[in-house]
Amino acid sequence: MPKPLPLTERSFRSRPPNWCPGCGDFGIWTALKRALVTLQLKPDQLTIVFGIGCSGNMVNVVRAYGFHGLHGRTLPVAEGIRLANHKLPVIVVGGDGDGLGEGIGHFIHAIRANPNVTYILHDNQVYGLTKGEHSPTAPKGFVSTTAPTGVIEEPVNPIGLALAAGASFVSRGFAGDLDSLETLLVAAIRHQGLALVDVLQPCVTFNHHNTYLWYYQRVYQLSNVQHDPSKLDLAWRRAQEPMDEKIPVGIFFQTKRPTLESQLPPLQGGRTLLEQQPVRPVDISAVVAQYQ
């Protein structure tokens, strides 16, 4: 038996990425792998659920158990995996179009249920794969291939939305700051409950407004200012800061809330549903008797 190799970033590599050079996805990919190494979570000890989009294409560059589902439907799949096997860490990787357009209902309801899932939301204001349409987080007036005179709607504020829905962990990261993002991801994966990590991620091809430089000029760490993530009112105030002025990153809010898994009786005996899966027909005579 060869000695197992030590866990490194390379342990999580499958194919080389095909994102555009400079894409913010590289930063998130790298920070995620580093966080997994830090947590000593091996590729076969977790499952990553991917959405559809450039972010979801991470399915092809990560070596792990994974599920690349339908556009917008990551969170229900993640919940299902957690309920079947609540000993398996589950991480969701999806974009803003996926999660806040098509999947915004699941976003709210998954937060309400609070399964132990880390949700990494790639937030770049555009749909990349389909050639630069605006996403739900694009600011009003944003010019895109399908809004040549500017977006009419107000943007979705994922931080505010998550706080309003009662999320137990609400955070924002920046793909251009690997060290901070890794630290944030470690905290999010360790959190018991649904942890939102909204990652600001420059799209170098289709978004010439929210560039790396633009972010570098605005991003500041919440840990460097007087912010108490246990205080919901402070989190609310930080969540409302206009993005075009200063952009706070880090943990906005974290609290203890019972997880979905901890409230379902069949999961309380120390064994997962999978471990309880019958391999023989189940005796139903007690129920049959009620119909006699």
Site string for another protein, 241-270 (x = CB under 8 A): -----------------------xxxx---
Shortest spacing between CB 266 and another protein, in angstroms: 5
Residue 78 makes contact with another protein by CB under 8 A: yes
Shortest spacing between CB 108 and another protein, in angstroms: 8
Residue 212 makes contact with another protein by CB under 8 A: no
- How many residues in the shown chain lie near another protein by CB under 8 A? 57
Smaller CB distance to another protein: residue 59 or 251? 59
Residue 164 makes contact with another protein by CB under 8 A: no
Shortest spacing between CB 5 and another protein, in angstroms: 10
d(CA 202, CA 25): 8
Residue 87 makes contact with another protein by CB under 8 A: yes
Smaller CB distance to another protein: residue 42 or 231? 42
d(CA 52, CA 197): 18
Shortest spacing between CB 69 and another protein, in angstroms: 6
Select from 20, 30, 41, 80 the one that contacts another protein (CB under 8 A): 80
Residue 92 makes contact with another protein by CB under 8 A: no
Residues binding another protein (CB under 8 A): 13-15, 43-45, 47, 49, 52, 57, 59-60, 63-70, 73, 75-85, 87-88, 105-106, 109, 264-267, 273-274, 276-284, 287-288, 290-292
